[in-house]
Chains A and B, each alone.
Chain A
Amino acid sequence: MPPFYLGMFWVGFYLTLVLAPLVVLLIGPVPAGSGFWWDFSLALGFAGTAMIGTLFFQTARFRRASAPFGIDIIYYFHRQSSLVAFAFILIHPLLLLIVEPSLWSYFHPAVGPWEFWAGVGSFLALCLLLASSVWRKQLQIDYDRWRLGHAVLATLALGLALAHIEGVGHFVDAPWKKLLWGLICLSWLLLLAYVRLLKPALELRRPFRVTEVIAERGDTWTLRLAPEGHAGFSFQPGQFAWLTIWNSPFALKEHPFSIASSAEQPGALHFTIKALGDFTARIKEVELGRRVYLDGPYGSFSIDRQPAPSYVFIAGGIGIAPIMGMLRTLADRGDRRPLLLFYAYHTWERLTFREELEALQTQINLRLVFVLKNPPEGWRGEVGLLSEDLLARHLPQQREGQEYFICGPVPMIQLSEKFLYQLGVPMKRVHSELFDLV
């Protein structure tokens, strides 16, 4: 099936999952209406809870469901839809308290029933989830701790919300409706078992070993990995994997990184990592021979998915890593199609892969446009930030035939997409890879 129709199928599936509880609640005998705003508030509570349930499925990394979109955008959607779900969950009690002010008395510990406190607990867990995700960096929460806390708080929020629904019993008192909610709980538990137990167990059976740690320019390190006791995995150039280094796969301490090596050499995987946080700053300390684990490959950011007579790449900072994987693959394949790379970085001295990119020009039909924010004295190349004028100066007049790949921070991707659109590039030809989402 073409990716567009597959994508539409999964979007429809998602909407069905979110809306199903509302439809199901209306089937069969239902309690008498309690006023528009009261019932509207209940409906938002049910739908918000269903949305929170689907958030778990979004991050379970199902390859088939994420393939048409790219798993990076699924994570981005996870973030956006969680804000919408939170808005509904917030409106739910607010409306009830406005419509029925006597409910304020429930906040007295001696008055409020347990199901009320379950709802309050779920709401507070959601508040903590949201604040710690949106402001993780400002709050200086370490990624690994955030991830563990995120999993615990999310489980708590959904568990308490389901308990709240069961306890209140409104609309779910019929046995078959109780069964339905039971099935929802069961599917969620099975998902948890799959993500937290089965997948890590499978990773444990297919370890990799660090064979080299290479220092690159710009506080960046490349880990070279070889499969241990198995054939490794085949991947498409530009894809990425979750890497666990100092822990067991069960520890939830994994980080996503692009595969920077050639897809033609699956036995020697390269991950090029810039020292940007606690985990990445320790990459240079990884001992040779250390056993590591990979969950992958993932992602749809690949030239192999977009056949074209020529390609344009736009990289910002360490966004060069997946593009390097594609260039190395093309070199290994002896590909002679025209390639154009815009590579924006702060300084010439710290430009990662500078020498190798220049050397690649002799192997593949590659033209390089380095864009430096702080150029050295005597620099005659492009200066400043990526702009529409800058792209227009180097892009060919015919801009519809190529496929465009952008990787870097989200603002850079959004600006580059805007510039390309203004330059007449069809948006269906533009592909991007997001990282650093949390």
Chain B
Amino acid sequence: MRILLAKLLALLTGAVILIMAALFALLQNG
């Protein structure tokens, strides 16, 4: 269970970062 949650959290962090990075690029480019 903890193993699965740890994997999920790592992937979730990755997904959030990808969204934030895309948002960052969108804001930068109007």
Residues of A within 8 A of B (CB): 11, 14-15, 18-19, 22, 25-26, 30, 32-40, 43-44, 47, 51, 69-70, 73, 76-77, 80-81, 83-84, 87-88, 410, 413-414, 417, 427, 430, 432, 434
Distance of A116 from chain B, by nearest CB (Å): 21
Partner of A47 from B7, B10, B20, B30 at Cβ < 8 Å: B20
With CB as the reference atom, state the residue of chain A lying closest to B21.
A43
Inter-chain CA distance A19–B27, complex, in Å, is: 16
Asked if A80 meets B7 with Cβ closer than 8 Å, knowing A22-B20, A43-B24, A44-B17, the reply is yes
Residue pair B17, A19 in contact (C-beta under 8 Å): yes
Contact with A along B6-30 (1 / 0, CB 8 A): 1101110110111011101111111
The 10 closest A-B pairs by CB, nearest first: A43-B21, A33-B29, A80-B10, A40-B25, A39-B25, A33-B28, A84-B14, A43-B24, A77-B6, A39-B28
Q: What are the residues of chain A within 8 A of B6 when measuring CB–CB?
A: 73, 76-77, 80
Secondary structure dominating the interface of B:
helix
Distance of B23 from chain A, by nearest CB (Å): 8
Partner of B29 from A35, A70, A77 at Cβ < 8 Å: A35
Inter-chain CA distance A80–B8, complex, in Å, is: 9
Residue pair A430, B1 in contact (C-beta under 8 Å): yes
Partner of A18 from B2, B17, B29 at Cβ < 8 Å: B17
How many CB-defined contacts (below 8 Å) exist between A and B? Answer: 92
Residues of B within 8 A of A (CB): 1-3, 5-7, 9-11, 13-14, 16-18, 20-22, 24-30
Q: What are the residues of chain B within 8 A of A81 when measuring CB–CB?
A: 9-10, 13
Secondary structure dominating the interface of A:
helix
Distance of B19 from chain A, by nearest CB (Å): 10
Residue pair A76, B13 in contact (C-beta under 8 Å): no
Inter-chain CA distance A435–B20, complex, in Å, is: 34
Inter-chain CA distance A331–B28, complex, in Å, is: 65
Inter-chain CA distance A296–B21, complex, in Å, is: 39
Q: What are the residues of chain B within 8 A of A44 when measuring CB–CB?
A: 17-18, 21
Residue pair A39, B24 in contact (C-beta under 8 Å): yes
Partner of B1 from A26, A36, A51, A417 at Cβ < 8 Å: A417
With CB as the reference atom, state the residue of chain B lying closest to A414.
B3
Q: What are the residues of chain B within 8 A of A37 when measuring CB–CB?
A: 25
Residue pair A432, B2 in contact (C-beta under 8 Å): yes
Asked if A69 meets B2 with Cβ closer than 8 Å, knowing A33-B30, A36-B25, the reply is yes
Q: What are the residues of chain B within 8 A of A35 when measuring CB–CB?
A: 29
Asked if A11 meets B2 with Cβ closer than 8 Å, knowing A22-B20, A33-B30, A88-B17, the reply is no
Residue pair B10, A15 in contact (C-beta under 8 Å): no
Residue pair B24, A40 in contact (C-beta under 8 Å): yes
Residue pair A84, B25 in contact (C-beta under 8 Å): no
Q: What are the residues of chain A within 8 A of B21 when measuring CB–CB?
A: 22, 40, 43-44, 47
Residue pair A26, B3 in contact (C-beta under 8 Å): no
